[in-house]
Structure 1
């Protein structure tokens, strides 16, 4: 069991994400003074003996307004409220209850969920007098708290413990069989969130025509038959020179971090825009992280004469995405669903290839044959002696030789390609470490 779910809700810029980070013990949510940074639902876990529960951060709720993304953010927050067993309603204690806070309070009363009313940004005792007016909301005793400094956190946990005793627990769907972690990456506005929503079958992530809508990395569990995936929707990665906002810079850093933690990456391209230089850079990030890659060319439904353009796209990907020459490619439409599920089949294929183990005797028979075709003349020639596989995902090999410094790039490339073809590693990245018998590595 995962434990019950607690949702943090409230108006924009009252410190919800700061409180979320304080409770989960790490900086999962982006925090800034700019209102409206959190837009989707962001989940984390809180382990504080004897409490154990899941926590969800939501975007700033603005009922009855027509601000950009307001309706989408409200829908995400309402979904989180429906999932949760307990609500933490956060207000800015120094400002008092605003008209938006009162509208949110009205909505929360209808949820029939236990509510902990938190007056945030009360950094010192002298500010506590400001919270008394919050009694007018009729949601119980307001709790003075400073999420930034940790003040009042013990009392918050005490109140939560009282409510959580009767809150329903959630099943831990990942405990028995860990899902395959799939990062969906690409430039802004290529359709990453639309693809995730198509795969999941619900509006899990906000979709907009405005580039840069997704700020945090959002994890979504997906089950297809007996296959299980944890889909990670990431912020669009722009060229460094075009990343202006501090928030966006942090989003890009988080996107790269999520490439590091995934089992496979799906690079989404825009069929209407061609391959951009930044696409090649993102493919390079995936390559440097040694992650299996699937290339998904989105918005294929918008291309006229699709059949004649298909081969051209294949050629362009192989030629221009030099880090993705062997990666499988699929032409999709997140809007219509065309071939969207094919992505998961390809992810399974590249992940399975990266899981292959080769016996030591079979590996050394290959090495002997490969070395024989790469004979070098002269006394100081590079020679290989034997090899062993040291790991999988990615497949890792230690190759013992006379001198790692003499392992020329062309020899390494030849051995990697030969190894890939011989044992069926396909598009999986391979790590080869050359070692001397004296223990020196390269």
Structure 2
């Protein structure tokens, strides 16, 4: 079993991150710096991989014989055991001299280090997370340990790093399942769909809405390999969530979405797609998950042409950032159309995982700049220099250049839409990060 250690200065949210990854509250959490003084360990599963997770005391520059010095020494002991370190910084506070000093120390560490930018709630938090690039530890993973934002992405990154590392005492590696979640409104047919997919009555079904109250995980195989499928409680409008149990069920459903790789959004084709369905889809997009719409009860639809056209119009108007979302009309009750669902899920998963080579990416990037020059901002030309694709899951482009961070929203959409079209990536979220820094291979102009 591999070891993952969480390090960082005091009060950046290490224990909140530990609890979130462990799936339960183990470490005490408080705004007072230094609450954690001893290492805490737990066995957990991150990105489908079993790990030994270690929470550490805050790193502080202090004399060895002081309490702070002994806490730091304990953290250094955890580093020596670790296969992977999650180095946590607080984007609300911004980078400190201590963050920079510890980052320099970790750059020399014998294990892999993943930079986690915590407290990155909302768009402003995501933008602030980009400041952490300067630590020289690679792309920061923006999360909110308090709210659970960004944890699907974090699970993916941890899994990738651990799979790339030789394991200490590693036995035969098990085949990793695709993580798939079924979401939708109450009584849309989610549990019936799960039962039909796995070929047995695993979930209680019936006409009463709300029969499923928890997120239930089931493992099965399709033609391409293992799948961990999670059926969730129906998500109602927030104003209608009143009972404590239903609030817990809703939280479990959202957690399942955040930890999934692909989401199947089950829509009742008779009722059509309503605002709550759109909210679920937007949450999947915001979390960077692949999305497939299962248009259920299709056999009971009378005017199929008009119903399909209305759905496509809704998707075009509501998901501008995920053009081309896959739609599979089916009947979960009798299995009609179901043979197309899992091949579609696998196609979306492959697109979500796809990387574009740097050379090919920059040939496209130069063409886009020639067709449409970046605009003037405050009387100065934005000079975009080059692009990289640091990660997939979802496909992520980082663009470097002078004043790149000032690029207007319409030009950002132009780049994302043309990237999607050029590299044939319909229906998956695409991330665009902008770094206003000099090209190391060229002089500033």
TM-score (norm. length: structure 1): 0.58
Q: CA deviation at 1:306?
A: 3.0
Spell out, residue by residue over 1:386-424, the C-alpha distance to the aligned partner (whole angstroms, 9 max, x if none). 111111111122110211332111111111111112222
SS at match of 1:221: strand
Greater mean deviation of Cα atoms: 174-183 or 313-322: 313-322
> Which among 369, 372, 375 is matched to residue 373 of structure 2?
375
Distance 1:200 1:317 in 2: 29
1:319 CA displacement: 3.2
Alpha-carbon separation, structure 2, partners of 1:241 and 1:431: 31
Shift of 1:325: 3.8
For these two proteins, the number of residue pairs brought into alignment is: 276
Equivalence for 1:425: 425
- 1:301-351 deviation line (CA, Å, top 9, x unaligned): 211243553334333333355565421111111011111231111111111
Matched, 1:267 2:265: yes
Q: Residues 399 and 377 (structure 1 numbering): CA distance in 2 closer, same or farther, change over 3 Å?
A: closer
Structure 1 window deviating more from structure 2 (222-231 vs 413-422): it is: 222-231
Q: 2:77 — aligned with what? A: none
Give the Cα–Cα distance (whole angstroms) in 2 for the partners of residues 214 and 358 of structure 1.
Answer: 41
Secondary structure, counterpart of 1:184 in structure 2: strand
Give the alignment of 1:168-183 within 5 angstroms: 176-183=174-181
Q: Name the structure 2 match of 1:342.
A: 340
Q: Does 1:310 align with 2:319?
A: no
**Where do 5+ consecutive residues of structure 1 fail to align?**
1-23, 28-44, 53-173
What is the DSSP-based 3-state SS (H/G/I as helix, E as strand, rest coil) of the residue aligned with 1:414? helix
Give the corresponding residue for 2:403.
403
Cα distance in 2 for residues equivalent to 1:322 and 1:255: 25
Aligned residues: CA RMSD: 2.7
1:178/1:377 Cα in 2 relative to 1: closer, same or farther (>3 Å)? closer
Q: In 2, Cα distance between the equivalents of 1:343 and 1:294?
A: 8
- For residue 432 of structure 1, report the CA deviation from its aligned partner: 1.4
Partner Cα distance (1:408, 1:316) in 2: 26
Residue of structure 2 equivalent to 1:287: 285
Instruction: Answer yes or no: is 1:435 the counterpart of 2:435.
Output: yes
Residue 203 (structure 1) aligned to one of 177, 197, 201: 201
In the alignment, which residue of structure 2 is the partner of 1:392?
A: 392
Q: What's the offset of the Cα at 1:226?
A: 3.4
CA distance in structure 2 between the partners assigned to 1:401 and 1:206 by the alignment = 55
Q: Given that residues 283 and 323 in structure 1 are in contact (C-alpha distance below 8 angstroms), is that contact kept between their aligned partners in structure 2? A: no
Alpha-carbon distance in structure 2 between the residues aligned to 1:231 and 1:323:
26
- Unmatched tracts of structure 2, length 5 or more: 1-21, 26-42, 51-171, 440-445
2:356 to 358, 362, 369: 358
User: Are the structure 2 counterparts of residues 361 and 404 from structure 1 closer, same or farther at C-alpha, using a change threshold of 3 Å?
Assistant: same
**Distance (whole Å) between structure 2 residues aligned to residue 387 and residue 46 of structure 1:** 36
For 1:25 and 1:387, the matched residues in 2 are separated by 37
Q: Aligned equivalents of 1:280 and 1:46: distance in 2?
A: 33
Give, in angstroms, the shift of residue 218 of structure 1. Answer: 0.9
The DSSP-based 3-state class of the residue aligned with 1:335 is coil
* Distance in 1 of aligned mates of 2:360 and 2:352: 18
CA distance in 1 between counterparts of 2:216 and 2:386 reads: 44
TM-score, normalised to structure 2, is: 0.58
What is the CA–CA distance in structure 2 between the aligned matches of 1:352 and 1:25, rounded to whole Å? 28
Q: 1:419 to 1:322 in 2, by over 3 A?
A: closer
CA distance in 2, matches of 1:334, 1:301: 10
3-state secondary structure, aligned to 2:338: coil
Partner residue in 1 for 2:182: 184
**SS of the counterpart of 1:341?**
helix
